[in-house]
């Protein structure tokens, strides 16, 4: 009886661990939800930077963690445009990797997403990445 109780208490954590990504996040590639251009942007004083523009070179992306919105993938499709997306794969919540060659990939089951738009390219996920609004303040990328 005690052994069965221990399995019942431990098993839910094991299920979560089995579907989680224990590998470190990529250091390149950025995905953003919400498009922002450098021209005409301003933000409230005291906004916390997610990254600097130098951290996300044009055509690349970066995974950022510890934000008020959770893990995000920031992308910079053009010199003056930054987008952010929720880094949780819509299939089972695994943190996706930063874009490589224009594609964001889930390491667990291989779902792929467009590195500039977050749109679904291939499953098993059935939807694209959820966009998170961001903006550019000076040389910093902040939540909008």
pLDDT confidence band for 19 (50 / 70 / 90): very low
| 28: pLDDT strictly greater than 70 | no
Beta-carbon contacts of residue 4 (< 8 Å; ≥ 6 apart): none
Distance CA 109, CA 124 (A): 7
Distance CA 105, CA 41 (A): 30
- Can you tell me the mean pLDDT for 32-60? 64
Distance CA 118, CA 124 (A): 15
pLDDT confidence band for 48 (50 / 70 / 90): confident
> How far out from the chain centre does Cα 90 lie?
11
- Can you tell me the mean pLDDT for 51-61? 93
Specify the DSSP element, H or E, that contains 36: strand 32-37
CATH of 24-143, one of 3.40.50.2020, 2.102.10.10, 2.70.98.10, 2.40.40.20: 2.102.10.10
Q: What integer best gives the mean pLDDT of the chain?
A: 76
At residue 8, the pLDDT reads 40
**Can you give the pTM of this predicted structure?**
0.68
* Beta-bridge mates of residue 30: none
Torsion sign over Cα 129, 44, 64, 19: negative
User: What are the boundaries of each domain within the chain?
Assistant: 24-143
């Amino acid at each position: 009886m005690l052994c069965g109780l221990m399995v019942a208490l431990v098993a839910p954590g094991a299920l979560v661990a089995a579907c989680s990504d224990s590998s470190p996040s990529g250091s390149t590639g950025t995905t953003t939800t919400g498009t922002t251009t450098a021209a005409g942007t301003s933000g409230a004083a005291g906004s916390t930077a997610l990254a600097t523009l130098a951290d996300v070179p044009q055509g690349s992306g970066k995974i950022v963690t510890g934000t008020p919105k959770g893990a995000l993938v920031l992308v910079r499709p053009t010199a003056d445009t930054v987008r952010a997306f929720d880094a949780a794969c819509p299939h089972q919540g695994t943190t996706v990797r930063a874009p490589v060659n224009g594609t964001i990939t889930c390491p667990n089951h291989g779902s792929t997403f467009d590195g500039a738009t977050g749109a679904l390219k291939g499953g098993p996920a059935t939807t694209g990445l959820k966009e998170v609004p961001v903006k550019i303040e000076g040389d910093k990328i902040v939540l909008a």
